[in-house]
Structure 1
Amino acid sequence: MLGAGTVFFDVAHMSLLPAIVPKERLERGNGVLEITKNVSLLAGPGVGGWAVAALTAPIALLAHAVSYLVSALLLTGVRAREAARRSERSLRHEVAEGLRFVAGEPVLRRIAVGGALAMTANSVCLVGLPLYLVKEFGVGAAQYGLLQSAAAVGSLAGAALVARVTTCLGTGRTLYGSAALATVLYLPALATGPGWRLLIFPVAASLFGVVSAIFGIAQLSYRQRITPGHLLGRANASMRFLSHLAVVTAPAVMRTAAAP
């Protein structure tokens, strides 16, 4: 149930922002949301650990549940102009319409394919990276935590810079440039040797966080800008479905790669 609620919330918040923020400020609005999310991801584990230690686990879980209630109450204060549109068609037709729109837009189609490939690669890396760092580099638990936080710190910088970058370069150059840089920044992670691990990997991870945040926010803002309002929710849901479907394929990819 929590997972289903998260899906509805994520699609809804991506679809609601254009009704609140002018189109020319979408990158800035999405950047602020991304900064808020990454600050929560950085601070959350530490706060959660303190809450469990100080309040016990059941009280910490109760506080977590209350936080969702507070979020819902705060959202009731959002004022947005949305055109109500009822459809008599079935859910299957609604889903198909969203998929057709994404498939029919060349840029969105490329973003969807690229996003699916990136999600597959990230899923594989999330499984293999801890083993790689611990076995090859001898990284301890504390060092591993710091290395993992490097990308999140970079994402904060990317979210803060995305509006300025898209203004200077334009959306197209921002998308293609950030995707190309993200690909290149995977390579330094392959460097081995104890003399390099504490320098190359966190720097590359931080820079990867910067460009991946820029790409993610730029493509979302572009999608929000070109999609008709009545299709935005379906288009966002379709893009999310296509990209996250790749996560399901990641185990099969790893089994194939590991096969003799």
Structure 2
Amino acid sequence: MTTGPQVTTVPGGTSSRSGFWYFWAASGIGSLGSGVTAIALPLTALVVLDASAFDVGLITAASYAGAVLLGLPAGVIVQRFPMRRLQVLMDLVRAVLIASVPVAAWLHILTIAQLVLVGLFISLANILFDVANTAFLPSIVGKEELTARNSLISGTLATTQLAGPSLGGLLVQLLGAATSMITDAVSYLLSAALLGRIRAESPRSPKSHQEPFVRQIREGLRFVFQHPVIRPSVLASTAFNLASGIVLAVTPVFLVRTAGLPAGTVGLVLACDGVGALAGAMITTRLAGRLGTARAVVVATVAGAAATLLMPLARSNWAAVGFGLGLAGFAAGITVLSILTRTHRQTVTPPPLLPRVVASVRFFTWGAIPVGALLGGSTADALSARGALYTACALVAFAPLALYWSKIRTIRNLDD
């Protein structure tokens, strides 16, 4: 396995080092627009179309279903195309899909079915974009810089997650839920323009078109299942994301209908997710240096699971504060786990296998989100939004258990 970046550069183009900053800016801008949609899309369903809790859960599930439908083939597909160009194409596709929502609302033809389909097709574009994005980063960043760069990107995304919902809540109040989604469409166009400025391109394996499609998928799965650190890390992330799917689906219903909060306050509460993710990104390098990456992952999952309890316990006048604190702690735990395990995968996986390993991991971890969303919506309709959040607390408790009953409990660093 090589130790430095593998890059091809177009003559007269941008170097891989400066290319990282275009990559970083594109990630931040795209995430800011997505943060607006995170609050605008469910509020469009709730306010404009008077959707039920199950409808919101269905839209949320569709928005993450790409990980299930395309998760495993995505690694092979990405490996067969130039990763940077594929990211640009997916940005353009997502911009068109998002823009269709306000256009339909202006024409008074918007339906729940359209929101579900938009969420579904965006999720398919998301999985291709994100697999290419994660696998492309080592091509413009040296191995010794990966943890720092992953932390920087996660911190930036956390900042935009903090600003996005707050901005989204304000825009919803000023412009309406559907119209505010134009911001996300514009952000994807800007992201595509920035990625287009990068002249580095990761090399494609000459064997990628020769080997059978299914065999390539199996190789990625085998690497994940047989690795003593990646396997339990995936199990822990899957438990977190099952709970996350419930939280994503139920939070708008809980905050609007159970807690009775206005759109602006809902945006501020959802921004706590960004606060927690930013805090997690800021402490990851220091925590890993002091405890070791393996121990830091264990501590983060325990703390994140414990913080989740604050969400269903939030009541009365303190509902916004309690829920926000729980959401922040939950996000911080996920962020530390994500940064350290993602960096570990990027460094220990042979480069030709990396897209398939990334896709295999996302199939299970991201595939858990729509399952959790459907479970959350169904549980909220059958019991209550608060009952669905307690279900999330029970599921997230499996994350630290998956790490405890593995090799990770006995080592200091993930790569030991």
Query: Do the two structures share a fold, i.e. TM-score over 0.5?
Result: yes
1:234 lines up with 2:372 in the alignment: no
In structure 1, give the amino acid aligned to 2:247.
Answer: C
Instruction: Note closer, same or farther for the CA distance 1:259–1:138 as it changes in structure 2 (3 Å cut).
Output: closer
Q: How does 1:153-192 map to 2 (within 5 A)?
A: 153-192=275-314
2:141 is aligned to 21
Deviates more, 1:120-129 or 1:11-20: 11-20
Give the TM-score, by structure 2 length. 0.54
In structure 1, give the amino acid aligned to 2:270.
Answer: Q
1:133 lines up with 2:255 in the alignment: yes
Q: Give the CA deviation at 1:127.
A: 1.9
In structure 2, give the amino acid aligned to 1:110.
Answer: P
Is the CA contact 1:15–1:232 (under 8 Å) kept in the aligned structure 2?
Answer: yes
Is the CA contact 2:164–2:271 (under 8 Å) kept in the aligned structure 1?
Answer: no
In structure 1, give the amino acid aligned to 2:226.
Answer: G
User: Paired residue for 2:132, among 12, 17, 21?
Assistant: 12
User: Paired residue for 1:101, among 212, 223, 232?
Assistant: 223
Q: Give the CA deviation at 1:144.
A: 1.4
Q: How does 1:45-56 map to 2 (within 5 A)?
A: 46=167, 49=171
Q: Give the CA deviation at 1:259.
A: 5.9
The gaps in structure 2 that reach 5 residues or longer are: 1-92, 95-121, 384-416
Task: Give per-residue Cα distances to partners, 1:59-92, cap 9 Å, x unaligned.
Answer: 868744641441232222x4x7x56522121221
2:197 is aligned to 74
Q: Give the CA deviation at 1:214.
A: 1.2
How many residue pairs end up in the alignment?
A: 254
Q: Give the CA deviation at 1:251.
A: 5.3
Give the 3-state SS of the residue equivalent to 1:202 in structure 2: helix
User: Paired residue for 1:246, among 349, 358, 368?
Assistant: 368
2:389 is aligned to none
Is the CA contact 2:310–2:325 (under 8 Å) kept in the aligned structure 1?
Answer: no
Task: Give per-residue Cα distances to partners, 1:177-222, cap 9 Å, x unaligned.
Answer: 1111111011111224324324332223223222221111111011
Deviates more, 1:108-117 or 1:212-221: 108-117
- Structure 2: distance between partners of 1:122 and 1:34: 17
- Structure 1: distance between partners of 2:181 and 2:299: 47
Q: Give the CA deviation at 1:238.
A: 0.7
Is the CA contact 1:27–1:162 (under 8 Å) kept in the aligned structure 2?
Answer: no
1:40 lines up with 2:160 in the alignment: yes
Q: Give the CA deviation at 1:132.
A: 2.5
Is the CA contact 1:28–1:162 (under 8 Å) kept in the aligned structure 2?
Answer: no
Is the CA contact 2:162–2:272 (under 8 Å) kept in the aligned structure 1?
Answer: no
Is the CA contact 2:161–2:271 (under 8 Å) kept in the aligned structure 1?
Answer: no
Deviates more, 1:92-101 or 1:243-252: 243-252
Q: Give the CA deviation at 1:129.
A: 2.3
Instruction: Note closer, same or farther for the CA distance 1:235–1:256 as it changes in structure 2 (3 Å cut).
Output: same
Instruction: Note closer, same or farther for the CA distance 1:182–1:49 as it changes in structure 2 (3 Å cut).
Output: same
Q: Give the CA deviation at 1:240.
A: 0.9
- Structure 1: distance between partners of 2:319 and 2:180: 36
In structure 2, give the amino acid aligned to 1:220.
Answer: R
Q: Give the CA deviation at 1:18.
A: 2.7
In structure 2, give the amino acid aligned to 1:34.
Answer: S
Deviates more, 1:201-210 or 1:41-50: 41-50
- Structure 2: distance between partners of 1:74 and 1:91: 32
Identity of aligned residues (%): 27
- Structure 2: distance between partners of 1:132 and 1:61: 25
Is the CA contact 2:300–2:336 (under 8 Å) kept in the aligned structure 1?
Answer: yes
- Structure 1: distance between partners of 2:274 and 2:196: 28
Instruction: Note closer, same or farther for the CA distance 1:106–1:144 as it changes in structure 2 (3 Å cut).
Output: same
Give the 3-state SS of the residue equivalent to 1:196 in structure 2: helix
Instruction: Note closer, same or farther for the CA distance 1:237–1:252 as it changes in structure 2 (3 Å cut).
Output: same
Q: Give the CA deviation at 1:29.
A: 0.6
1:147 is aligned to 269
The gaps in structure 1 that reach 5 residues or longer are: none
